Amino acid sequence: MIYSVTKMWVILIFSGVKIDIFTPLTKVSVKSSIRLFNKKHKDMSRLFQLVSLLFISCQLFAQDTDILRQKLQQIVSNKNAIVGVSIIGNKGKDTISLHGDTHCPLQSVFKFHIAIAILSQIDKGKWSLNQKITVKKQELLPDLWSPLRDDNPNGGSFTIVRLIQYAICQSDNVACDVLIRLLGSPKAVEDYVKQQGIKDIAIQYNEEDMQSSWDNMYENWTTPKAASETLQKFYDKGAKRLSNKRYKFLWKTMKETVTGADRLKGLLPKGTIVMHKTGTSGTNKEGLTPAINDIGIVFLPNGQHFIISVFVTNSKENNASNEKIIAEITKTVWDYYVTKR
């Protein structure tokens, strides 16, 4: 600090306090500047302490999520499979992934995407949830998984509500393809999802065509990160991508999913709320299983939740092992949030 109480012209500079060079200094002006300096020094000291605390907190927080990531890596390290994982937790502040940008076959996970595309069109007035759609007997293909066909071997008329429930809750393939025909094509589903800002997704085939050729399943793909982002966009009420009525119906239906009991829900405490959608491929004669998947939202005892997408891709493990991978990953994330929050 440089100052003078004579008639000399000087500049006083310290910690952002500046006296114009053309202003003659007096004892009063110098004392005022010093008082200002002291005040600003205290303020800066407090600011420095706050920044330091924030920096330390961020470092500790990053270390915590790094520990979680290491635990997830340990689960998959000795598995003969590519395991894609994406987690969004702590009110969106945590984003953790393994192979998060890997292209993974969707299989029946894409029925969630079909449902949101249909519900969006209903919001626009194109159809209604209670509108009935005729499903002819010849559409009940015998080689597709279909509780709807088993319940109604001669076909019938079904509301869109019922078709979505069959497709999501029981992963019904006939209901799925009926809904795709309503939308026009599988590409219409892809286009809608991409319009929501999700870029890493491709949907080229319906269930009938996807299952007609082994290679076709790889043309329906997404990434773990994109799957979690899609869940986040449509669960976030603030986004208002669906009307309140359609929103409540979607997540109630996801909560009622009965497939994949040994995946996301497999090791969680009984009664844990999980809103999810599974996807499952076959296994070829070489023992390769391209897809055992589960994506969803898991609720914690404190009412908070985390979003999780797990894709076990191109696995040489058996199905029980593939499902256990998903269950162990989910339980590890659950334990992390239960003990840390």
Check if 207 is active-site: yes
Could you tell me if 293 and 104 are in contact, meaning their C-beta atoms sit under 8 angstroms apart? yes
Q: Where are the alpha helices (DSSP H) in 77-223?
A: 110-123, 147-151, 160-169, 173-183, 186-195, 207-210
Q: Which residue's entry shows tokens 């007096």?
A: 26
Catalytic residue among 108, 171, 309, 315: 108
**Gap between the Cα atoms of 53 and 43, Å rounded:** 15
Catalytic residue among 207, 229, 317, 323: 207
Check if 108 is active-site: yes
**Gap between the Cα atoms of 231 and 329, Å rounded:** 18
Write the DSSP assignment of 46-114 as a string of letters.
HHHHHHHHHHHHHHHHHHHHHHHHHHHHHHHTT-SSEEEEEEEETTTTEEEEESTT--EE-GGGHHHHH
Could you tell me if 262 and 143 are in contact, meaning their C-beta atoms sit under 8 angstroms apart? no
Which residues are marked as active site? 108, 207
